[in-house]
Structure 1
């Protein structure tokens, strides 16, 4: 399990929801402060199992998908966070192999 990959997914979910670190933290009960969210996103720590489940729900995925290590790298811009089911790089727009 690669904590940096998981952290990147957590960050992508938060950003896709248009939430700040503080707003994202308020989605949990009890709430998580923004320093905890930042540690998750940087791969320094992992959320508890109940919080992982909530994050997966917010990202419309299974916990197993959230914990998966299978990300692709864009050959053009070298972005390393492309989800396996994405057809285009979210950074430069290059079509990537599925």
Structure 2
């Protein structure tokens, strides 16, 4: 994944983003495969490993595809499946912006 310094921008494969992408809150049992890990991980465990406070976890937007597969945990990482592997691939650019923020 390419991202800016603060991980507020993600580039994901557009060929795998069929249909609409939806932003939602985390749900019990959510799993994804963070880039660089060999297998799937519970989103809850991912947050614990990154030391994201309990209060903050429910405020992290989760972008999912039409099959409810996690594409991007906004500000933290994308799923390995959606990682751009070839500079010639078409991408979808996802941005996380604060409410009322500029840009």
TM-score, normalising length: structure 1: 0.33
Quick check: which one's helix share is greater? 1
Quick check: which one's strand share is greater? 2
**Which is bigger in relative contact order (C-alpha 8 A, separation at least 6)?**
2
